[in-house]
C-alpha cells in the first residue's frame, strides 16, 4: 500500500504501454492485465510511484505492458527483489506478478519469506496448473495423474494449494479470484492494495494452449453457480441457485457442505476474514479438493474472495522503528567510523 496520491486524475489509458501484448490469443492473462490497468487509476497512486516486479514465465511479461516502473527479474526471485525495493523505498506501491511455476517451485522459498515477514507488497500469483512458457510441463499445482511432456505416465506429485501455502506462511492478506470475472478481480485487487502488509492473491487463469479449461468444472459459465463459493465478510457462507447450499462446521471442527433447508440458515458458518487465528481460513482453503473425486470424477465447490485480512505490523515499519530507536539512543550513524573500525586492514 502506498500513501502517495496521484497529482492528477488518471485513466486506464495512462497505464497502457505502446508494447505489443504477446500472449497467445485467448490467454487469461489478457483479462487480468485489463483489470489491473482499470483498477490502478482508482488507487490514487502516481504512476512514478508504482512498480511491477516479475520473475520468469508467461505472466512475467506483465511489467512490459504496464506504463509504470518495472523489473523483469530472474526465475523465482521477484519477491526478493521486491523486498529490497520496498525496504529502500517504502513510499512505492510494489506489485509482484508470478505464476504457479515461478512462484511455487524455484521461487517458493522467496515467496514464503516475503509473506512471513509481512513485506508491504502485493503478490499476484497466476495459477494455470501448467508450465506455459516452456511449452506444457506439469507444475506444482497440476493435479495428480496429469499427463504432460514431463509426466507422460501421469504426475505422481501431490499438488500444492497456493492459499494453504500462503496461510501457512502467516500471510496477513490472502485471497482468490479468477480471470473470467472482471468485477471480482477488481474488488480483490483493490482490497489487496488497501491492505498494509503482504497481500497474496491467487488467480485461476486459463492456458488455452497447454491446459485449456483447467478450471472449467468450477468457473465455467454452466458450473459456477453451483461450484463457486463467494466469501463475504460477516455473512453466512452459502452458494448455489437461490443460495440453497451452505457451509457448516461439524463438531470435530471440519467444514462440510449442506443443504440450507436441512439445517437452517442460523447453522451456517459466518465468514470472518479479520479473525487472527488462521485455522478457519485454512479450513476454507481445504474445503475444495486439489483433484476430482476418484469415484465420481467431479470437483468440489471452491471458495473465492478474501480468506484473511488482518492487521499486523509490516516489515518496513518495524525496520524504520528500529532505526529511529537506535538514532535516538546513539545519535546519527557514522559510516566512516564503521568502515574504519576493528576488523579492517590495509593491503600494501
What are 125's three cell numbers? Answer: 500469483
pLDDT at 5: 54
Rounded (5°) CA angle 299-304-310 = 135
| CA atoms of 112 and 110, how far apart (whole Å) | 6
Report the CATH number of the 12-223+306-316 domain: 3.40.50.970
Helix, strand or coil, per DSSP, at residue 65: helix
In this predicted structure, what is the pLDDT of residue 65? 98
Q: Helices (H), strands (E): how many in the chain? A: 12, 11
Q: Assess contact for 271 and 277: CB atoms under 8 A.
A: no
Q: What dihedral angle (degrees, nearest 10) is formed by the CA atoms of 187, 188, 194, 200?
A: -170
Sheet holding 69-72, edge to edge: 69-72, 50-54, 93-99, 122-127, 199-204, 173-178, 302-309, 228-230
Helix or strand holding residue 247 (H, E):
strand 245-249
Cα distance between residue 109 and residue 117, in whole Å: 12
Element of type H or E holding 127: strand 122-127
Report pLDDT for 291: 62
Q: Which residues of the chain have pLDDT under 50?
A: none
- Nearest CA-CA partner of 281 in 164, 161, 193, 137: 164
In sequence order, which residues have a C-beta less than 8 Å from that of residue 168 and are 6 or more positions away? 282
Provide the residue ranges of all domains of the chain, joining segments of one domain with +: 12-223+306-316
Question: With contact defined as beta carbons under 8 Å apart, do 79 and 114 qualify?
Answer: yes
Phi, psi of 224 (to 5 degrees): -60, -30
CB 239 within 8 A of CB 245: yes
Phi and psi at residue 284, to the nearest 5°:
-65, -35
Amino acid at each position: 500500500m502506498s500513501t502517495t496520491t496521484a497529482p492528477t486524475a488518471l485513466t486506464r489509458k495512462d497505464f497502457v504501454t505502446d508494447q505489443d501484448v504477446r500472449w497467445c490469443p485467448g490467454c487469461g492473462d489478457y483479462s487480468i492485465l485489463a483489470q489491473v490497468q482499470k483498477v490502478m487509476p482508482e488507487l490514487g497512486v502516481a504512476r512514478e510511484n508504482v512498480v511491477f516486479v516479475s520473475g520468469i514465465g508467461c505472466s512475467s511479461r506483465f511489467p512490459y505492458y504496464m506504463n509504470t516502473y518495472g523489473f523483469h527479474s530472474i526465475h523465482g526471485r521477484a519477491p526478493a527483489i521486491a523486498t529490497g525495493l520496498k525496504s529502500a523505498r517504502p513510499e512505492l506501491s510494489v506489485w509482484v506478478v508470478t505464476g504457479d511455476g515461478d512462484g511455487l517451485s524455484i521461487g517458493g522459498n522467496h515467496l514464503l519469506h516475503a509473506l512471513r515477514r509481512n513485506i508491504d507488497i502485493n503478490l499476484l500469483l497466476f495459477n494455470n496448473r501448467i508450465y506455459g512458457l516452456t511449452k506444457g510441463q506439469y507444475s506444482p499445482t497440476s493435479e495428480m495423474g496429469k499427463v504432460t511432456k514431463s509426466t507422460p505416465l501421469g504426475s505422481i506429485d501431490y499438488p500444492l494449494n497456493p492459499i494453504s501455502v500462503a496461510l501457512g506462511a502467516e500471510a496477513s492478506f490472502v485471497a482468490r479470484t479468477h480471470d473470467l470475472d472482471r468485477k471480482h478481480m477488481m474488488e480483490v485487487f483493490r482490497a489487496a492494495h488497501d491492505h498494509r502488509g503482504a497481500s497474496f492473491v491467487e488467480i485461476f487463469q486459463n492456458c488455452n494452449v497447454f491446459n485449456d479449461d483447467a478450471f472449467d468444472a468450477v468457473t465455467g459459465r454452466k458450473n459456477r453457480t453451483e461450484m463457486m463459493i463467494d466469501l463475504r465478510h460477516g455473512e453466512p457462507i452459502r452458494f448455489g441457485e437461490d443460495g440453497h447450499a451452505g457451509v457448516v462446521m461439524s463438531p470435530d471442527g471440519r467444514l462440510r457442505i449442506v443443504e440450507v433447508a436441512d439445517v437452517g440458515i442460523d447453522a451456517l458458518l459466518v465468514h470472518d476474514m479479520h479473525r487472527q487465528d488462521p485455522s478457519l481460513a485454512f479450513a476454507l482453503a481445504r474445503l475444495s479438493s486439489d483433484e476430482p473425486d476418484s469415484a465420481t470424477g467431479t470437483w468440489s465447490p471452491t471458495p473465492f474472495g478474501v480468506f484473511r485480512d488482518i492487521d499486523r505490523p509490516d516489515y518496513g515499519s518495524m525496520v524504520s522503528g528500529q532505526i529511529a530507536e537506535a538514532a535516538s539512543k546513539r545519535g546519527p550513524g557514522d559510516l566512516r567510523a564503521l568502515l574504519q573500525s576493528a576488523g579492517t586492514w590495509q593491503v600494501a
